[in-house]
């Protein structure tokens, strides 16, 4: 009823699968929407999506961990988003 394995394998490389990081990002976003934010943060951290990591830790009530991530990122590379995140976490307007 189906094609032989050799015929199916001949076309295997023409199938477009999403990249692994794209599938993991989708999984983490789904986790976050379901409220499994700590697991989502772990996946986002593996993917180095730092804004999402910080947001997940903030939602989970782990502001201390979120601030650690922000300060580490700022020591490696300063970005306006990380400064804004630090301002939100510390309620310090000088960081904005």
Q: In this predicted model, what pLDDT tens digit does every residue of 66-92 receive, in sequence order?
A: 999 999 999 999 999 999 999 999 999
Mean pLDDT of 11-21: 87
Total Cβ atoms within 10 A of residue 73: 20
pLDDT tens sequence across 17-72: 899 999 999 999 999 999 999 999 999 999 999 999 999 999 999 999 999 999 99
Confidence (pLDDT) at 3: 85
Contacts of 18 (CB under 8 A, 6+ apart): 26
Longest Cα separation, the chain: 69
Please state the pTM of the whole predicted model: 0.82
pLDDT score for 11: 81
């Amino acid at each position: 009823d189906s094609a032989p394995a050799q015929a199916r394998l001949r076309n295997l490389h023409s199938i477009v699968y999403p990249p692994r990081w794209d599938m993991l990002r989708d999984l983490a976003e789904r986790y976050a929407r379901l409220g499994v934010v700590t697991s989502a943060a772990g996946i986002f951290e593996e993917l180095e999506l730092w804004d999402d990591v910080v947001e997940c830790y903030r939602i989970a009530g782990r502001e201390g961990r979120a601030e650690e991530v922000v300060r580490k990122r700022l020591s490696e590379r300063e970005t306006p988003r990380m400064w804004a995140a630090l301002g939100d976490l510390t309620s310090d307007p000088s960081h904005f």
